[in-house]
Chain A
Amino acid sequence: MDFAFLYSTMKALLAATPTTIGLFSLSVFFGGLLALVIVTMRVSNNIIARNFAKGYIFVFRGSPLLIQMFLVFYGLGQFGVIRHSFVWPALREPFICAVLSLALCTAGYSAEIFRSGLRAVPPGEVEAARAAGMSGFLLLRRIIAPIALRHALPAYSTEIVLMVKSTALASLVTVWEITGVAQRLISQTYRTMEIFLCAAALYLLLNFIILQALSLLENRLNRHHRRPTERKPSVMNALFGARP
């Protein structure tokens, strides 16, 4: 084992990690917001909005992310209208293009996940809330959203891990994140295995941290389903304020 080489590889990859994290968090944030819009359209009574959302989900889930990213990065610049408009300084940046296409893609997947969460809300609870005089945003905030979120969270965690992996594609539109740097190092040194192991370890660590955070959140959201005797005092409870 050549530890000096592993150390220098790890240092180069760690320097690229903030780019990966930036791509990931920005695209999950904007993708999540867009997914809320899409799912609202998908379950609305307006036939045009509903069909638009259906088409959006079909297109963005059915085609590879790489082709969507190239379409945004190379395709949009072809039109003079876009090149001479105010958005061009932003769309010229590969990082912004990558975030845009990642967010558009994850919005399609997340909208379906949120919809399955909505379908898990028992109609009786909505009716009861309406009978008690709740409607509109209050009903959404107090009854529908908490139940839907709880049901959608396991599937959404899977989607979030897929997003961590998808950020690797940004290297193909010249964003130097972990996979891009790893590829450059491989083609310079031809020491594929060592570099792969370093990059893989970084990605697994990232996924592990994100999954742990999400399962902690899931645990907290499902507090009321646990029996009081199951609540053992633990380090996690001490840290995050659950009383034994």
Chain B
Amino acid sequence: MEIIELLGFGAKGWGALILTGMLLTLCVTLASLAIGALVGGLIATAKLSNFWWLRVLGTTYTTIFRGVPELLIIYLIYFGGSNAVTAIGHAMGIEGFLGMPSFLAGALAVGLISAAYQAEVYRGAYRAIPRGEIEAAASIGMPPLRCVRRIILPQILRFAIPGLNNVWQLSLKDSALISVTGLAELMRTTQVAAGSTRQYFMFYIVGGLLYLVLTSFSERLFNSAERRSNKSMPRGMGQV
């Protein structure tokens, strides 16, 4: 059986490489989720701020990163980053073209896109917190920072889980575009395997199925997290 040999772990098999690629896809998406949480939190704070120029800044960021194709942003970060790295290299006396590490470029690009979506999720979650709770905290003399830590953040995290599920699914699929930078994640490995064995149809089906495994498995994880975080809440509409 030729197909089993090609997908196996033997000398001619691509199985191990494809599974490594799947792991790399997971790692790069996790890294982009972390970058997106950090930047997205800042953008959400800017959009909720009382200063008009911060709000304009936040809105500009979310408009650009949600309205421009992901591929274009990956090109910007990868080629732009490589230009910057080369310039720094020249300043330090290293000649020639220096490429930006493709893992870093990919995680940064998908992370910055995910930040724009996460900012909207966090903003919506903040709006869902009853105003009275924040006022109550202030009225018993809780300092603002402690109010953020004790009252606001835990509830934002709870309300944001369904939205974060959507963002995670988007990023997982966006991560396939990082293959254009040559990072050997699932998409790229599938592409190389398909090209060198000429079994395009079979390898792309296998790659697609592995992405389906990733998306459906993580969906379950998010749903159980949502159930868990809602344990202390009365059951209402739209709960899983």
Interface residues of A (CB under 8 A from B): 58-59, 62-68, 70-71, 74-79, 161, 164-169, 171-172, 179, 182-183, 186-187, 190, 192-193, 196, 199-200, 203-204, 207
Contacts and interface: CB of A to CB of B under 8 A. Distances in A.
Interface residues of B, number: 39
A172 B216 CA distance: 26
Contact of B208 (A67, A78, A166, A179): A67
Nearest to B69: A168
User: Chain B: interface secondary structure?
Assistant: helix
B164 interface: no
B212 A172 contact: no
Interface stretch (B8-16, B72-80, B226-234): B72-80
Given A67-B207, A200-B68, 13 more contacts: A58-B212, A62-B215, A64-B208, A66-B179, A67-B187, A68-B208, A71-B200, A161-B66, A164-B69, A168-B69, A179-B71, A196-B76, A203-B68
B67 A203 contact: yes
17 contacts: A62-B216, A63-B209, A66-B177, A67-B204, A67-B207, A68-B208, A75-B205, A165-B70, A168-B70, A169-B69, A169-B177, A179-B75, A190-B79, A192-B75, A192-B79, A196-B76, A200-B68
Contacts, number: 117
A187 B215 CA distance: 34
Contacts of B207: 67
Contacts of B179: 66
Contacts of B42: none
A67, A77, A78, A204: residue with the most chain B Cβ atoms closer than 10 Å: A67
Contact of A67 (B75, B174, B176, B215): B176
B201 interface: yes
Nearest to B84: A192
B200 A63 contact: no
A199 B72 contact: yes
B71 A169 contact: yes
B191 to A, nearest CB: 7
Given A67-B211, A70-B191, A74-B194, A168 B72 contact: yes
User: Chain A: interface secondary structure?
Assistant: helix
Interface of B: 63-64, 66-72, 75-76, 79-80, 83, 172-177, 179-180, 187, 190-191, 194, 198-201, 204-205, 207-209, 211-212, 215-216
Given A74-B194, A165-B68, A200-B64, A66 B187 contact: yes
A182 B71 CA distance: 11
B200 A64 contact: no
Nearest to B203: A75
B173 A64 contact: yes
A165 B190 contact: no
Contact of B201 (A71, A172, A182, A196): A71
B63 A71 contact: no
A75, A167, A187, A207: residue with the most chain B Cβ atoms closer than 10 Å: A75
B68 A63 contact: no
Contacts of A171: 71
Contacts of B69: 164-169, 179, 203
B67 A76 contact: no
Contacts of A58: 212, 216
B190 A67 contact: yes
Nearest to A196: B76
Contacts of A169: 69, 71, 177
A63, A75, A164, A204: residue with the most chain B Cβ atoms closer than 10 Å: A63
